[in-house]
Amino acid sequence: MRKVINNTLRIFTISAVLVTTLLVFVAYYAQFSLKEHEDIRSRADLMASCLEKYSEDSVLGILHNAYDGAADLRVTLVDGGGSVLYDNTGDAPSMDNHMERPEIVEAFEKGFGEGSRKSSTTGGRIYYYAVKMSDGNVLRLAQPTNVVRGMTMGIVPIVAAILLAVIAAAFYISKRLTRNIMEPINSIDINNIRETKIYDELKPFLERIANENEERARTEKIRREFTANVSHELKTPLTAISGYAQMINNGMAKSEDISEFSKKIEKESDRLLTLIDDIINLSSLDEIGGIEDAETVDLSRITEDAIRVIEKAARERGIQIFYSKAPALIKGNPTLIGELVYNLLDNAVKYNKDGGKITVFVGETGNGVEFSVKDTGIGIPEDETERIFERFYRVDKSHSKKVGGTGLGLSIVKHVCACHNAEIRVKSKVGEGTTMYVTFPKDKKEEN
Ligand code: ADP
């Protein structure tokens, strides 16, 4: 990470400086050339107006004196026929006729002319400016580009120094920056994230880690409690079974008690098996996050089947079941949904009063497909309606045990709801009864 930050910053700074330098260089060069051209034009105009006062011979003498051997300015004098009378960069008589040169042609026509072209000797661009004098000759000045280039080059050392300084600054800043970014991260106390002082940009990330840590600790605690509870719940029926078996085995039980004891052993074993079934169901629900092979399920058919299973137990206690149904198709796992429906109906029987009533509804409502079970039983205290979904939580432990409860039924129901994106609600009044509502999302495919 440190390397990435360092390199990015360095590359960025160096490229920024180089691009800026290039732009400054180009702008400076353009500006400088413009100024040079202007200089040459005014110099030529001035020279022409001065030289006009002299005869051609005197003009040639003046030019020889002033410009022979001058390297920074090229001076040429051309007569009306285009022949070169004077040129400070070569031997005038041997030069070719200059009537072809555009600036000279223009000067003869308009009084002045300019042109810019590549020099055949130096290869660089040269600016020419020509003025027609009163005697009919044309005076031409040219600025060799190497002078312009040379002057422009003068800024190179300054730019190089600035470049070096900026690169050094970039190195220093990137080092400091990475240190400022990395140091607080390295000093985070992973066990005490919320107390750690850190810059604002990292706070949401740390908040997420802290939340995940808390969630993990909570799940871990639930798991530990569950293991302890499971061991305890398994131990109780096993202790009873083992006690009765021992008494039969070592002859302490009278022969008339043996039938009674073996019934107790059978009851405790059934309890143990139910408990183990519930635990297996719960742990397999823990494993799956959602339903993978969901199919279209008719909730009213499943409810009918579950009612048939609990009917006998209800009849024995004089409890009447009323069932109103409408077609209700949902997407899900039929076994798990059957488990959910059975558990809620079973509770409505177990916690009902003798001679009570159970009203079951299945059908579509505005929010989705609803399954509800209303009983006229003992009810649940309001402050406990949330807790009944916890594993092994029972409002009245001895009552639950008496009716063969494990304390896991509603945990399973809650899990199945979560897997099916269904919502569960409880409405209850102590002494009057309880209604459990489960709302499943509609099966979209069936809707279309
Ligand atoms: P259990 O096996 O004990 O019935 P559940 O998880 O199904 O376990 O229910 C947890 C507790 O919630 C029960 O022990 C009981 O106290 C309470 N409960 C559940 N359903 C009802 C109901 N219909 N009426 C009254 N109490 C209920």
Tens-digit pLDDT string for the chain (448 aa):
667 777 777 788 778 878 887 887 788 778 877 888 898 999 999 999 999 889 888 999 999 998 888 877 889 999 988 899 999 888 888 888 888 889 999 999 999 999 888 766 556 678 899 999 998 899 999 876 655 566 566 777 887 888 788 888 878 888 888 888 888 888 888 888 878 888 888 888 888 998 999 999 988 998 888 888 888 889 988 999 999 999 999 988 888 889 999 999 999 999 899 889 988 888 888 777 677 778 999 999 999 999 999 999 999 999 999 999 888 999 999 989 999 999 999 999 999 999 999 999 999 988 899 999 999 999 999 999 999 999 899 998 888 878 878 899 999 999 999 999 999 999 999 999 999 999 999 876 544 4
Q: Is 380 in the pocket of ligand 1 (CB under 6 A)?
A: yes
Residue 43 domain-assigned (yes or no) = yes
Ligand 1 atom closest to Cα of residue 375: 23
Does 419 lie in the same domain as 326? Answer: yes
Pocket test for ligand 1, best of 230, 360, 394 (most atoms within 8 A of CB): 394
Q: Which of 153, 179, 198 is the last residue of a domain?
A: 153
Q: Is 415 in the pocket of ligand 1 (CB under 6 A)?
A: no
**Positive or negative: CA dihedral 115, 120, 125, 126:** negative
CATH number of the domain within which 50 lies: 3.30.450.20
Does 317 lie in the same domain as 441? Answer: yes
- Domain total for the chain? 3
Phi, psi of 273 (to 5 degrees): -65, -40
Residue 136 domain-assigned (yes or no) = yes
**Cβ contacts of 166 within 8 Å, gap of 6 or more:** 13, 17
pLDDT at site 3: 74
Does 265 lie in the same domain as 135? Answer: no
Does 309 lie in the same domain as 235? Answer: no
- Residue 201 CB neighbour total at 10 angstroms: 8
Structure tokens at 121: 């000797």
Does 307 lie in the same domain as 217? Answer: no
Q: Is 395 in the pocket of ligand 1 (CB under 6 A)?
A: yes
Does 443 lie in the same domain as 302? Answer: yes
pLDDT at site 322: 97
Contact 141/127 with Cβ under 8 angstroms?
A: no
**Cβ contacts of 369 within 8 Å, gap of 6 or more:** 299, 328, 329, 330, 362, 363, 439, 440, 441, 442, 443
- Residue 367 CB neighbour total at 10 angstroms: 12
Report, in this order, helix, strand and coil percent for the chain, each rounded to 5: 60, 15, 25
DSSP type of residue 141: E
Phi, psi of 22 (to 5 degrees): -60, -45
Residue closest by Cα to atom 16 of ligand 1: 395
**Positive or negative: CA dihedral 218, 224, 230, 232:** negative
Ligand 1 atom closest to Cα of residue 407: 8
Pocket test for ligand 1, best of 347, 417, 436 (most atoms within 8 A of CB): 347
Contact 339/412 with Cβ under 8 angstroms?
A: yes
Residue closest by Cα to atom 19 of ligand 1: 347
Query: How many Å apart are CA 277 and CA 5, to the nearest integer?
Result: 57
Does 144 lie in the same domain as 34? Answer: yes
Q: Which of 93, 126, 153 is the last residue of a domain?
A: 153
What are 397-401's contacts with CB under 8 Å, separation 24+? 399/351, 400/350
Q: Is 408 in the pocket of ligand 1 (CB under 6 A)?
A: yes
pLDDT at site 320: 97
C-alpha of residue 21 to centroid of ligand 1, in Å: 80
Residue 20 belongs to what domain range? 2-153
C-alpha of residue 379 to centroid of ligand 1, in Å: 9
Structure tokens at 326: 């409408």
Residue 71 domain-assigned (yes or no) = yes
pLDDT at site 195: 81
Does 442 lie in the same domain as 296? Answer: yes
Q: Is 410 in the pocket of ligand 1 (CB under 6 A)?
A: yes
Ligand 1 atom closest to Cα of residue 400: 3
Tokens 């020889």 sit at which residue? 64
Q: Is 424 in the pocket of ligand 1 (CB under 6 A)?
A: no
CATH number of the domain within which 260 lies: 1.10.287.130
Does 396 lie in the same domain as 332? Answer: yes
Please state whether beta strands 295-298 and 138-143 pair in parallel, antiparallel, or not at all (unpaired): unpaired
Does 231 lie in the same domain as 208? Answer: yes
Residue closest by Cα to atom 7 of ligand 1: 409
Q: How many CA atoms lie within 13 A of 169 on its CB side?
A: 10
Please state whether beta strands 357-365 and 320-325 pair in parallel, antiparallel, or not at all (unpaired): parallel
What is the helix (H) or strand (E) element at residue 80, kind and residue range?
none
Whether this model's pTM surpasses 0.85: no
Query: How many Å apart are CA 285 and CA 145, to the nearest integer?
Result: 86
Pocket test for ligand 1, best of 410, 416, 424 (most atoms within 8 A of CB): 410
Q: Which of 153, 180, 208 is the last residue of a domain?
A: 153
